Structure 1
Amino acid sequence: MYTTSFFATFLASLADIYLDLKFDLYGFFDKGINWEYIVIFIVIYPAANILILNFFPYKKNIIKQITYILLCTIITLCCEYLSLHTEVFYYNGWKLWYSALCYPVIYTILVLNLHFIRKLNKIQSQ
């Protein structure tokens, strides 16, 4: 879980560097680098990742797994929408439906990453 949380944080920072700082499509709080973002980066991203992966239905059928990812996407979109209206987050060319397309891909990558890390650990322990 920790390895995948670090991966999720790296992935988020990479996206934020390009989409926020380079292309100025969205941002947190005010334009540019903000100290408040560190709390989101260090606490929220890893915590959300651990929650999502901890409750993922690994041993269920693919329909339940897809449904879970879509439910997580909807919850995340609601949080993003709330953060837009509380001025924690702002759009500058980004749209909510872009996020709706990105989140299922991101969550699938995180699940696959955790699966890969677990396989590596199993191979290493043999």
Structure 2
Amino acid sequence: KGWVDRVYAYGFAYGVGEHSDTHWGDRYGEGAMTGKRAMLVVTTGGWDSHYGPRGINGPIEDVLFPIQHGILFYPGFDVLPAHVIYRSSRVDAASYPYELDRLGARLDGLATDPV
């Protein structure tokens, strides 16, 4: 939250654009970050099945919605699906290269993969 407060300054990420009776600023896809991409990289302590439609935590997309929609999409970012590493406390020396390669592939395609 501190990062958001410092970076999303009034007049930059919000409070920009036309403010009238019919339009309340450039936001939700219209803001200063329009045309730029953003992606969350998150880790969980639980299994991937815990973050599914019938999982105890609900779909990971629902968990991340306030950040993806309310923080990233608000100033106009094209929000990419999150890169999630499940059970991160269980990533050991054998599985670390796999996770590293998986993240590297996502980052390599960040600018070109379809939204």
Larger radius of gyration: 2
After TM superposition, the score normalised by the length of structure 2 is 0.28
Relative contact order, higher structure (CA 8 A, sep 6+): 1
